[in-house]
C-alpha cells in the first residue's frame, strides 16, 4: 500500500455482494489488467474487496484512491466499471455524476467510527492489511508486557460495558471470572446479527479481542459462536482464524510466552434466544437453547460448568483499541457512565438507512436528522424503536434525549443488540407493538410460563385491538400481564418482552384509545379499521383504480365517478396508491 | 460447623441451614408451604413454572433456584407475591383444557390444587389453547399434550434418572411441546417414570384409564413380585382389582419403578394364572395340593440322588422370587441335595 499506488476498494459486505459487488470487483480486476493500467500510469493498481461501510442503500460502493484523494462511487453496476477505469483511473478525471452525493458525507460526518473504522478500508481477508493498521499489537502488548490483572484493569478503566444486552461492565465480568476457582475456563464470543458487518469487515479485531479476553481471564479455549447461515461472516472469520493460527497468534506458545489459546467455531441455529448467554452456552454444549437458572452465573459456572465469559463481537472488537490506546483514551468517548461508541442498524423511514457507529450519549435527534438525513418524504417522525424487538419505542418528545444505557433504561428500553427502527406518521404504533410481540412469542424458548404464554396472550390482545375488537379493559389486562412477565420471567427475553407494548402505550395512549373507542386507526394501517371510498368530486373516471383492484371491488362507467364495494374490498390499498388524483379516501 | 451454616429469616422466623440450601428447601424444613409445579425433589432444578416465587428484598425470586445467603429476609406469601402467583397459574390455566370432570388425575392434580387455592374459575388472560389431535399409539403411556404445562419433569426423569432421553422439548414459543423425536409414537422402555412425576393429567397409565381416580381407590402397600430388588409398590385397588401401580418417594426405591412394576400387574386377576401346583398324571397336568406336590418332589429327589448321585440333579430358580427365597433355594440344592448345579434366570 505504497502512497503512490492506485487503490480501488469494492464493498463486499453482505449488502455489497447482494448488489453485485463480486462481479464489479471481477470487472475492475479485468479492466485494470486489460487496459494495462499499471504500465500506462506507471503505478501499482490492485482492486481489492473491503467490508461494509454502512451506507448499504447505495451499494455497490467503490472507492478510487488516486494521489491520496479518495473518490467514492455509489450504485456501481458492472457496466459502469470500464468507464471508471478509463476516465478516472487512467485519465485521472473522476466521473462526477456517479460519485456519492452530499448525504454520504452527512451520513458519516456525525459518526464516530472506532470499531467500524477499518471496515470498508482494509481487505478483511488479508491479515497483512490488519497488521499494517497496528493489528495484533494490542494482543502482543497484553500478553508479553501486561499481567492479566493489568489487562482487566485497563478494561475496567475504559468503562466498557457489554454491547449485547444488559450492559454489564466488561472488565468487572472478566475480573469475577478470573477470580472464580477452576483451572479450565472459557471465553466465548457471540457473533450476532448486528455483528455481521464486523465479522465481514474486520474479523481479525474480533479474534484479537477474544484472544486478549482469554488471556485476561485465564482461559485456554475460546469459542466463536455464530449462526451457520451467516455464510460470509463465517467464511471471513474462518480465513482470519486460519491466518492468525499460521502467524502464531492463536495456538500454542503465543508470542513465545508459553500462553496457549485455541479458538474454534460453534455453530448456532435460527434462534433469537441464543443471544441470551446461558441459552447460548446450552447451544454450544449441543443442547436445546433454553436459558439456565441463575445463580450460578456463567462467570462461576458456565460452559460445561466451568467459569466462562461471554461477550459479543462488538465488545471484543473494542478490546484491541482499549489495550492499544489505553483505557483512559476510551473512557473519554461517551458519557459519564456509558463509554465508547455503539453500532446501530439505522433503518425504517429515515432517508439514509445503514449501519452507523455513534458515540454514546448522542441525542436521537442528531441520529435521525443528522446521520439519518431526516424522514423519507418529509413526513412526520412518530417514534424510534431502539434495542431490537424487546427494546422500547422512543417518542418524538424525547428526541433530545441522549442514547446511553441509563437514559434508555429510564424510558423502558434497552441498548440491546443495536437495532434502531424509525417510524413515521404512516406507521400504526399498535401494529408495531403487535409485530414485535408476535416475533417474541415465536422466539420464546417455551421454558417459563410468563414468557411462553404471556407473549402469546399479549400478542392476542394487541391483535384484538388492531382488529377493532379491543375493549378498554384489555389495556388494563395487558398492563397487569406486562407486570407479571417483567418480574417473573426466567430470562431477559421474557422480562423485556412487554417493552414494545409498555413504552408504546405510555407514549401513544391516544392511538390505543382511538383503536378501542373510536374503532379508528389514525395511521390508516389496521385494515379492519379503515375503509376505502371514492371521492366523487375528485374522481376523473380514469379507471386506474379499477384496473389495480385485485378483488374486482371497483365499478364505474366512463365519465362516471367510480364506486368501491365495501363487501368485496380487501383493503389492500392498491387503488389508493394507483389513483393520480387523490380521489381515493382512506379513513 | 457454624461457618458452614447461614441464618436466614423466612416469614419472620429465623432458621439456620447449610450453605447451598435453597430457599424452597429451607422453607419446607420449617413446614412453610410454597407451591411448586416444575420442582421435584429428586430432579435437578428447572425454574420453569415460576409459581414458587417468594419476595427477597422486595423482588420476586424463584425459591427453587435462590440459594440462602446470610441475613436474607424472605417473605413467602405477601399479597404482591400471591397476586403474581395467581396470575401465573391463571396463564397456565388459560392454555389448559377445562375437563377436570373426566380427567384421570382429578383430585390428584397439582395444577387443580393451585386453581382451587387461587379460586380461578375463568382465567383473566384468555386466548387460544393448544389443540393436539394426535394420540400416541404405544400400549402403556397416554400422552395428552393439551394438559401438559411444560414443567419438564418428564424430560428430566427420563434423562437424569432413567438415562433414556426418549422425550425432549420441540418447537418454540407457544407451540413448544414435549414429544419423542419427530413426533413419532413413544418407543422407549415404558418405565412410566414420566407418569410418576407428571403434575397433571398429561401423562397417565393407559391400562388404568377410566378404572378409578385417586379418591375412589383402596391402596395396598406391597413389594414388587418381579425381581430381587424388592421395590416397594403401592397398588390402587378397586373392587378387589389392582388398577394402578405407584410407589412412594420414601421407599427403598425412592418412588422409582420399571416397566414391570409399573405396568405388569394384570396377571393378578388373569384366568390363566396358576394358583395351585400341577402334577402330570397319565400325560395330563392335574391340579394338586401343596403337600402332595412337595411330597412327590422330595420322594423323586431322594430316588434320583440314590440312583445317580446328587450331580444328576440341577435346580433352576426364578428372579421373581425374593433374594431370601433364592438364598434358601441354593441352600436347599447345595446343602440339602448336595450339588452345585443351581442357577436362576438372572444368575447367582
In a domain, B291, yes or no: no
* Angle at alpha carbon of residue A207, lines to A206 and A212, rounded to 5°: 100
Closest chain A CA to residue B127: A457
Over the stretch B296-337, which tens digit does the pLDDT of each residue have? 999 999 999 999 999 999 999 988 888 888 899 999 999 999
Over the stretch B43-74, which tens digit does the pLDDT of each residue have? 999 999 999 999 999 999 999 999 999 999 99
Asked whether residue A156 carries a pLDDT value surpassing 50, the answer given is yes
Q: Cβ atoms within 10 A of the Cβ of B197, count?
A: 21
Q: Cβ atoms within 10 A of the Cβ of B79, count?
A: 7
Q: Output DSSP code: residue A268.
A: E
- CATH code, B255: 2.20.25.90
Over the stretch B230-276, which tens digit does the pLDDT of each residue have? 899 999 999 999 999 999 999 999 999 999 999 999 999 899 999 99
Over the stretch A241-278, which tens digit does the pLDDT of each residue have? 999 999 999 999 999 999 999 999 999 887 889 989 99
Q: Look at residue A174 and give its three-state secondary structure.
A: helix
Distance from CA of A348 to the nearest CA of B (A): 27
Cβ within 8 Å, pair B95-A456: yes
Give the domain-ending residue among B58, B77, B96. B77
Residue A450: list chain B partners with CB under 8 A: 50, 88, 91
Q: Output DSSP code: residue A98.
A: G
Asked whether residue B348 carries a pLDDT value surpassing 60, the answer given is no
Of A210, A238, A221, the residue nearest A304 (C-alpha): A221
Burial letters B275-291, b for 16+ CB under 10 A, else e: eebeeeeeeeeeebeee
**Could you tell me the residue range of the domain that residue B244 belongs to?**
213-265
> Closest partner residue to B128 among A293, A448, A460, by Cβ?
A460
ipTM of the complex: 0.90
pLDDT at B77: 94
Contacts of the segment A557-560: beta carbons below 8 A, 24+ positions apart: none
Using the Cβ of A460 and the Cβ atoms of chain B, whether some distance falls under 8 Å is answered with yes
In a domain, B347, yes or no: yes
> Closest partner residue to B47 among A444, A460, A490, by Cβ?
A490
> Closest partner residue to A441 among B84, B125, B173, by Cβ?
B173
pLDDT > 90: percent of chain B: 90
| Total domain count, chain B | 3
B254 shares its domain with B313: no
In a domain, B61, yes or no: yes
Over the stretch A474-487, which tens digit does the pLDDT of each residue have? 999 999 999 999 99
Query: Mean pLDDT, to the nearest integer, of A78-83?
Result: 93
- The more confident residue out of A418 and A241 is A241
Q: Output DSSP code: residue A319.
A: H
In a domain, B237, yes or no: yes
- Residue-range domains of chain A with CATH: 6-103 (3.40.30.10), 134-331 (3.40.50.11540), 341-424 (3.10.20.600), 429-517 (1.20.1440.230), 531-586 (3.30.70.20)
Give the domain-ending residue among B25, B56, B77. B77
Q: Residue B222: CB partners within 8 Å, gap ≥ 6?
A: B232, B233, B234, B235
pLDDT at A1: 43
Quote the crossing angle between the two packed helices A499-507 and A509-517, to the nearest 10°.
90
Using the Cβ of A271 and the Cβ atoms of chain B, whether some distance falls under 8 Å is answered with yes
In a domain, B92, yes or no: no
pLDDT at A564: 94
Query: Mean pLDDT, to the nearest integer, of A463-477?
Result: 96
Using CA atoms, how far apart are residues A271 and A273, in angstroms rounded to an integer?
Answer: 5
In a domain, B252, yes or no: yes
Residue A441: list chain B partners with CB under 8 A: 173-174
- CATH code, B69: 3.10.20.740
pLDDT at B2: 55
Q: Look at residue A279 and give its three-state secondary structure.
A: helix
Residue B128: list chain A partners with CB under 8 A: 456, 460
pLDDT at B306: 96
Paired strand residues for A357: A343
Closest chain B CA to residue A293: B47
Q: Output DSSP code: residue A99.
A: B
pLDDT at A415: 85
Element (H, E) at A210: helix A203-217
Reported residue count of chain A is: 587
Distance from CA of A443 to the nearest CA of B (A): 6
Q: Are A14 and A232 in contact (CB under 8 A)?
A: yes
Cβ within 8 Å, pair B176-A446: yes
In a domain, B246, yes or no: yes
A552: cell is 374486482
Cis peptide leading into residue A295 (ω within 30°): yes
Closest chain B CA to residue A478: B125
Residue B84: list chain A partners with CB under 8 A: 483-484, 487-488
Query: Mean pLDDT, to the nearest integer, of B74-84?
Result: 96
Distance from CA of B168 to the nearest CA of A (A): 9
Q: Are A298 and A279 in contact (CB under 8 A)?
A: no
Cβ within 8 Å, pair B60-A487: yes
Q: Look at residue B305 and give its three-state secondary structure.
A: helix
Q: Are A502 and A393 in contact (CB under 8 A)?
A: no
Give the domain-ending residue among B265, B281, B301. B265
| CB-neighbour burial class of residue A67 (10 A; exposed 0-12, middle 13-18, buried 19+) | exposed
In a domain, B176, yes or no: no
Amino acid at each position: 500500500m505504497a502512497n503512490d499506488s492506485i487503490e480501488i476498494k469494492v464493498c463486499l459486505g453482505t449488502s455489497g455482494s447482494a448488489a453485485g459487488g463480486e462481479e464489479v470487483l471481477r470487472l475492475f480486476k479485468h479492466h485494470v489488467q486489460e487496459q494495462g493500467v499499471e504500465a500506462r500510469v506507471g503505478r501499482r493498481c490492485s482492486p481489492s474487496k473491503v467490508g461494509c461501510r454502512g451506507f448499504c442503500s447505495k451499494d455497490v460502493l467503490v472507492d478510487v484512491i488516486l494521489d491520496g484523494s479518495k473518490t467514492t462511487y455509489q450504485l456501481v453496476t458492472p457496466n459502469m466499471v470500464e468507464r471508471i477505469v478509463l476516465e478516472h483511473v487512467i485519465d485521472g478525471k473522476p466521473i462526477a455524476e456517479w460519485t456519492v452525493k452530499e448525504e454520504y458525507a452527512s451520513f458519516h460526518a456525525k459518526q464516530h467510527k472506532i470499531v467500524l473504522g477499518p471496515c470498508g478500508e482494509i481487505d478483511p481477508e488479508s491479515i497483512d492489511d490488519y497488521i499494517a493498521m497496528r493489528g495484533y499489537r494490542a494482543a502482543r502488548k497484553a500478553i508479553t508486557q501486561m499481567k492479566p490483572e493489568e489487562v482487566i484493569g485497563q478494561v475496567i478503566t475504559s468503562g466498557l460495558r457489554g454491547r449485547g444486552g444488559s450492559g454489564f461492565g466488561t472488565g468487572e465480568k472478566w475480573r469475577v471470572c478470573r477470580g472464580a476457582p477452576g483451572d479450565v475456563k472459557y471465553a466465548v464470543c457471540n457473533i450476532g446479527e448486528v455483528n455481521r458487518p464486523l465479522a465481514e469487515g474486520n474479523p481479525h479485531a474480533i479474534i484479537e479481542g477474544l484472544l486478549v479476553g482469554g488471556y485476561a481471564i485465564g482461559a485456554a479455549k475460546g469459542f466463536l459462536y455464530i449462526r451457520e447461515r451467516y455464510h460470509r461472516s463465517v467464511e471471513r472469520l474462518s480465513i482470519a482464524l486460519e491466518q492468525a493460527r499460521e502467524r502464531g497468534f492463536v495456538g500454542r506458545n503465543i508470542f513465545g510466552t508459553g500462553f496457549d489459546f485455541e479458538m474454534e467455531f460453534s455453530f448456532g441455529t435460527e434462534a433469537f434466544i441464543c443471544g441470551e448467554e446461558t441459552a447460548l452456552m446450552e447451544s454450544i454444549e449441543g443442547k436445546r437453547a433454553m436459558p439456565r437458572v441463575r445463580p450460578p452465573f456463567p462467570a462461576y459456572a458456565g460452559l460445561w460448568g466451568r467459569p466462562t465469559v461471554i461477550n459479543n463481537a462488538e465488545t471484543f472488537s473494542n478490546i484491541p483499541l482499549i489495550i492499544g490506546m489505553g483505557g483512559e483514551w476510551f473512557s473519554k468517548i461517551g458519557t459519564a457512565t456509558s463509554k465508547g461508541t455503539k453500532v446501530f442498524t439505522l433503518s425504517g423511514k429515515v432517508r439514509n438507512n445503514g449501519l452507523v457507529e455513534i458515540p454514546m450519549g448522542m441525542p436521537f435527534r442528531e441520529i435521525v436528522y443528522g446521520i439519518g438525513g431526516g424522514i423519507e418524504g418529509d413526513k412526520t417522525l412518530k417514534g424510534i424503536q431502539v434495542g431490537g424487538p424487546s427494546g422500547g419505542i422512543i417518542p418524538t418528545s424525547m428526541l433530545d434525549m441522549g442514547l446511553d444505557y441509563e437514559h434508555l433504561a429510564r424510558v423502558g428500553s434497552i441498548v440491546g443488540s443495536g437495532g434502531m427502527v424509525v417510524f413515521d406518521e404512516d406507521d400504526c404504533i399498535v401494529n408495531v407493538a403487535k409485530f414485535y410481540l408476535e416475533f417474541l412469542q415465536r422466539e420464546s424458548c417455551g421454558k417459563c410460563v410468563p414468557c411462553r404464554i404471556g407473549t402469546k396472550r399479549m400478542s392476542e390482545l394487541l391483535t384484538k385491538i388492531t382488529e377493532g375488537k379491543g375493549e378498554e379493559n384489555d389495556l388494563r389486562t395487558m398492563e397487569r400481564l406486562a407486570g407479571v412477565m417483567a418480574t417473573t420471567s426466567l430470562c431477559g427475553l421474557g422480562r423485556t418482552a412487554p417493552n414494545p407494548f409498555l413504552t408504546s402505550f405510555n407514549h401513544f395512549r391516544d392511538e390505543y384509545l382511538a383503536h378501542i373507542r373510536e374503532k379508528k386507526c389514525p395511521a390508516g394501517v389496521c385494515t379492519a379499521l379503515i375503509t376505502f371510498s371514492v371521492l366523487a368530486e375528485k374522481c376523473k373516471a380514469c379507471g386506474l383504480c379499477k384496473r389495480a383492484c385485485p378483488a374486482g371491488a371497483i365499478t364505474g362507467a366512463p365519465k362516471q365517478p367510480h364506486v368501491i364495494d365495501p363487501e368485496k374490498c380487501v383493503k389492500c390499498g392498491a387503488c389508493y396508491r394507483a389513483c393520480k388524483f387523490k380521489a381515493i379516501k382512506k379513513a | 460447623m457454624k461457618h458452614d451454616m447461614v441464618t436466614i429469616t423466612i416469614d419472620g422466623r429465623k432458621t439456620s441451614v447449610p450453605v447451598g440450601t435453597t430457599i424452597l428447601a429451607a422453607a419446607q424444613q420449617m413446614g412453610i408451604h410454597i407451591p411448586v409445579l416444575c420442582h421435584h425433589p429428586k430432579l435437578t432444578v428447572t425454574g420453569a413454572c415460576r409459581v414458587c416465587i417468594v419476595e427477597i428484598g422486595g423482588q420476586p425470586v424463584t425459591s427453587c433456584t435462590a440459594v440462602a445467603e446470610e441475613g436474607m429476609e424472605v417473605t413467602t406469601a405477601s399479597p404482591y407475591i400471591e397476586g403474581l402467583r395467581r396470575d401465573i397459574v391463571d396463564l397456565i390455566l388459560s392454555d389448559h383444557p377445562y375437563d377436570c370432570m373426566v380427567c384421570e388425575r382429578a383430585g390428584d392434580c397439582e395444577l387443580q390444587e393451585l386453581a382451587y387455592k387461587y379460586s380461578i374459575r375463568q382465567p383473566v388472560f384468555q386466548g387460544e389453547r393448544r389443540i393436539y389431535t394426535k394420540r400416541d399409539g404405544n400400549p402403556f403411556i397416554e400422552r395428552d399434550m393439551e394438559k401438559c404445562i411444560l414443567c419438564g419433569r418428564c424430560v428430566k426423569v427420563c434423562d437424569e434418572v432413567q438415562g433414556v432421553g426418549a422425550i425432549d422439548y420441540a418447537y418454540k414459543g407457544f407451540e413448544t411441546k414435549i414429544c419423542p423425536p419427530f413426533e413419532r409414537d413413544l418407543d422407549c422402555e415404558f418405565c412410566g417414570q414420566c407418569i410418576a412425576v407428571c403434575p397433571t393429567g398429561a401423562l397417565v397409565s393407559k391400562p388404568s384409564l377410566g378404572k378409578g381416580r385417586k379418591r375412589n381407590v383402596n391402596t395396598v402397600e406391597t413389594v414388587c413380585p418381579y425381581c430381587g430388588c424388592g421395590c416397594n409398590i403401592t397398588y390402587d385397588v378397586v373392587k378387589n382389582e389392582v388398577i394402578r401401580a405407584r410407589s412412594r418417594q420414601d421407599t427403598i426405591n425412592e418412588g422409582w419403578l420399571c416397566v414391570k412394576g409399573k405396568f405388569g400387574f394384570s396377571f393378578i386377576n388373569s384366568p390363566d394364572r396358576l394358583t395351585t401346583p400341577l402334577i402330570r398324571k397319565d400325560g395330563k397336568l392335574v391340579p394338586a395340593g401343596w403337600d402332595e406336590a412337595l411330597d412327590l418332589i422330595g420322594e423323586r429327589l431322594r430316588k434320583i440322588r440314590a440312583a445317580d448321585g446328587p450331580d444328576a440333579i440341577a435346580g433352576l430358580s426364578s428372579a421373581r422370587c425374593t433374594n431370601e427365597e433364592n438364598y434358601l433355594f441354593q441352600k436347599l440344592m447345595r446343602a440339602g441335595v448336595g450339588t452345585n448345579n443351581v442357577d436362576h434366570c438372572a444368575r447367582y
